[in-house]
A = this chain, B = another copy of it.
Amino acid sequence: MSVLTNPRAERVKAVRALGRRSARQRAGRFVVDGPQGVREVLRFAPGTVVEVYVEGSAQGRHGDLIDAARSANLPVHQCDTAVMSALVDTQHPQGIVAVCRPVDVPVADALAAADGFVVVLAHVRDPGNAGTVIRSADAAGARAVILSDASVDLYNPKVVRSTAGSLWHLPIALGGDVPGLIAACRARGRRVLAADGAGTTLLPAADLSGPHAWLMGNEAWGLDEEIRGLADDVVRVPIHGHAESLNLALAATVCMYASADRATS
C-alpha cells in the first residue's frame, strides 16, 4: 500500500475543505474523524462510506476498522502524520478518518414509526448541543430526530463528533419550518409537546402515554410564543433549587427519559 505524504495534494485539500458547510453541500460528502465514528458508520451504514484514511502509526491500533473497511470493499489510504493533520482541523487527530455520504432521510420517513416519541429541534445552533441531543435521543429510544431549518448543519464536524456514533443509529431528517413540522407530526397522530421554561405543565404531569413529539427550542432563546401556541402542550422540567434552567441537552434528555420511562412502566 502506497503512503500519502503530500499534505498539499489536491485530494487532501478536498477532504480538508469538507470542514466548511458550503464545500460539504457542493461535494455531497462529510468527514468522520476518529475511531468511534468510523466504527459506527462502518457498522450501521457501510454503504455511505466513500473512503478511509489511516495514519501509518495508527494502523495497529485501528486494525479492526481497517479490516472492516476492506471487507466492505472500501478504499483505505495510508498516510503520514503531516497528511492526517492536513485532512482534519482537530487538535489531536486520532489517526483514522472516513469520508462519507449524508445519511439524513426525508421528514416523512422520520415520521414513519407510529409509536413512541420523536424529537424536533427548532433552530438549534450549537453543534455540541445538537450532537448531544442526538446521542441522548438514541439512548432514550427516540424513533427519529428532526432538525428544522435554520439549525446547525448535521454534518458539521463538531456535531458529528458529539453524536458519538448515534448519527447512524436512528433516522434523522433535516429542514422544514417549525410550524410545518408540527403539522406533519400531528398529521401522523403525534401529540406535540413543546419543552420550554414557560410551560405550565410540569414534566411529571405531562401526558406521555400516546405517540408524541418533543419540540425543543434554541439554546439561548427557547421557543417563540407563537410556536408554543401551535403545540398541544407546553411542558416544563421542574426546577427544584435556585438554578435558572437546565441547558438544552440536559432538558431534552430529562424529557426523553421521562417518555422512555412512561413507555416501559
Identify the A interface with B (CB < 8 A): 44, 132, 135-142, 164-166, 169-170, 204, 237-247, 249-250, 253-254, 257-258, 260-261, 264-265
Complex CA gap A255/B114 in Å reads 29
Whether the pair A165, B241 counts as a contact (CB closer than 8 A) is: no
Complex CA gap A62/B105 in Å reads 46
Whether the pair B250, A136 counts as a contact (CB closer than 8 A) is: yes
Complex CA gap A253/B142 in Å reads 18
Whether the pair B132, A166 counts as a contact (CB closer than 8 A) is: no
Please judge, given known A-B contacts A139-B246, A246-B139, A265-B204, whether A240 and B260 are in contact too, CB under 8 Å. Answer: yes
Q: CB-CB < 8 A to A241: which residues of B?
A: 137-142, 166, 169-170
Q: CB-CB < 8 A to A165: which residues of B?
A: 242-244
Whether the pair A243, B135 counts as a contact (CB closer than 8 A) is: yes
Q: CB-CB < 8 A to A257: which residues of B?
A: 237, 254, 257
Q: CB-CB < 8 A to A246: which residues of B?
A: 135-136, 139, 253
Complex CA gap A215/B80 in Å reads 43
Residue among A139, A140, A237, A249 with most chain B CB within 10 A:
A139
Q: CB-CB < 8 A to A253: which residues of B?
A: 246, 250, 253-254
* A–B pairs, 11, beta carbons within 8 Å: A139-B241, A141-B241, A142-B241, A164-B243, A169-B241, A169-B242, A169-B243, A204-B261, A238-B264, A240-B260, A250-B250
Whether the pair B243, A138 counts as a contact (CB closer than 8 A) is: yes
Whether the pair A140, B260 counts as a contact (CB closer than 8 A) is: no
Q: CB-CB < 8 A to A136: which residues of B?
A: 243, 246, 250
For the complex of A and B, 5 pairs with smallest distance between CB atoms: A141-B240, A169-B242, A138-B241, A139-B243, A138-B243
Complex CA gap A258/B254 in Å reads 9
Taking the nearest CB of chain B, how far is it from the CB of A87, in angstroms? 25
Taking the nearest CB of chain B, how far is it from the CB of A164, in angstroms? 7
Complex CA gap A44/B244 in Å reads 14
Complex CA gap A244/B253 in Å reads 15
Complex CA gap A241/B139 in Å reads 5
Complex CA gap A249/B136 in Å reads 11
Whether the pair A138, B242 counts as a contact (CB closer than 8 A) is: yes
Complex CA gap A247/B250 in Å reads 11
